[in-house]
Amino acid sequence: MMVTRTPARTRLLEAADRQLFTRGVQATPVDDLLREAETSAATLYAQFGSKDGLLAEALEGRLANWQAAWDAHIAEASDDTSRLLAIFDALLAYRERGRPSARWCAFLATASEMSDPPKPVRSVLEADSALLRKRLLHLSHPLAGERAADLADAVELIYSGVLASLLRDDPVDPIAVGRRSAAVVAASYGS
Amino acid sequence: MMVTRTPARTRLLEAADRQLFTRGVQATPVDDLLREAETSAATLYAQFGSKDGLLAEALEGRLANWQAAWDAHIAEASDDTSRLLAIFDALLAYRERGRPSARWCAFLATASEMSDPPKPVRSVLEADSALLRKRLLHLSHPLAGERAADLADAVELIYSGVLASLLRDDPVDPIAVGRRSAAVVAASYGS
DNA sequence: TCCTTTCTAAAACGTTCGTTACACTTATAG
DNA sequence: CTATAAGTGTAACGAACGTTTTAGAAAGGA
């Protein structure tokens, strides 16, 4: 008799989310994902078509979770500046919650590994960058007016710096450093 | 009769520098390096021991070149602030000069690809991070005094952000954005 | 009961790739 | 000339890995 449990498709996505972005996509063999998900190769290829297909859906899940977390922290913020800086608070909460672990950023890591990603993967990567840029631009407008694009560029760069700093064996907390720097830059637009 | 030409060892290093960091380490087969270097597998393994050995030496070369370029731009700067910001000018010159091309940063890309790099590779990566941190701390001191470490952390993060931004298909010029942001942050320490 | 769908187990295929072995040539030194 | 060392081209090995295949089991609905 088979115990009712979460479907194989979900287990595969969870295993992919946990392994692909910590060990690296190329460094993680399909067999390891199958072992953690306690399923078989046939199921994976029936559900996702390929390893890249599974990767693409795992990235979509990350994007959805991140977008929701960011949303929540924007809603909690009380003034325009903290709404712009909410991205750092969301990142802090996102990483502290044991949720999906990763060495640094699943999207940047994937972009770094695959110089020419297949279409479904590329779409998610572009969607992530687009979301980042669009939201920061929107949040920058009340602070910087016509110069919102410049402020948004600066915050996006600092945010990417926070993520990249996780790759170096840096003792300091990059999220706090990034938030402080972004606050200084944002304040310089408030004249 | 054999024409005297640059030794096979040098050609291999040049080929590695040109291919490993544009296509990715794992994505570049040894055979492609051999083809560009116009040499044979036996020579590579006699000279470098392994593909990772060649990678490590290629990274060492990058580090030496980058250190020299940064040195030169620090020497050219006239005041403390431009000495601290010289890292961005050096990066700009380093990338504009056709020299060694790369998708973003050879060191961060390697760290991202290899979750547990072999010792010689790890050494170069750590040396790069150490050089970055040590120099920025030294250059921050005349500007921020006792708070030099904080300023150095901020500039290092922004610098990493510049590099990471090259991974996104960002239309804006990250080096200029980073230099401006770093200038604002540095100025905030000048009270 | 039969059918359909989903899942499972295991083996095998085909490819790619790092690495090594082998036989041979060239350059330099004694 | 000869001996030694370094370099070269080719081929092959051996392992890892993504993917496919085959055959069968479990579960639910008509």
Residue A100 pLDDT grade (very low, low, confident, very high; cuts 50, 70, 90): low
Query: Residue B2 has what pLDDT?
Result: 39
Q: How many interface pairs between A and B have CB atoms less than 8 angstroms apart? A: 122
Query: Helix A8-23 and helix A30-37: axis angle, to 10°?
Result: 130
Number of C-beta neighbours around residue A58 at 10 A: 28
**At residue B103, what are phi and psi to the nearest 5 degrees?**
-70, -45
> Could you please report the per-residue DSSP string of B161-189?
HHHHHTTTT-SS-HHHHHHHHHHHHHHHT
Pairwise CB contact (< 8 Å): A108 & B178: no
The whole-chain average pLDDT of chain B stands at: 92
Tokens of A165: 């700093």
The residue ranking higher by pLDDT, A3 or A153, is A153
pLDDT tens per residue, range B5-25 = 567 888 899 999 999 999 999
| CA atoms lying within 13 Å on the CB side of residue A51 | 14
Tokens of A46: 């029936």
The residue ranking higher by pLDDT, B100 or B21, is B21
- Of A126, A157, A163, which is closest to B174 when you measure between CB atoms? A157
Tokens of B3: 């024409």
- Of B158, B168, B169, which is closest to A181 when you measure between CB atoms? B158
Distance B32 CA to D10 C1' (A): 16
Name the pTM for this structure: 0.94
Pairwise CB contact (< 8 Å): B157 & A161: yes
Query: Residue B5 has what pLDDT?
Result: 54
Residue A3 pLDDT grade (very low, low, confident, very high; cuts 50, 70, 90): very low
User: B43: Cβ–Cβ under 8 A, 6 or more apart, which residues?
Assistant: B8, B9, B12
Strand D within 7 A of A28 CB: yes
Query: Residue B3 has what pLDDT?
Result: 38
pLDDT tens per residue, range A120-155 = 999 999 999 999 999 999 999 999 999 999 999 999
Q: What percent of chain A has pLDDT over 90?
A: 84
Query: Residue B191 has what pLDDT?
Result: 65
Distance A65 CA to C6 C1' (A): 28
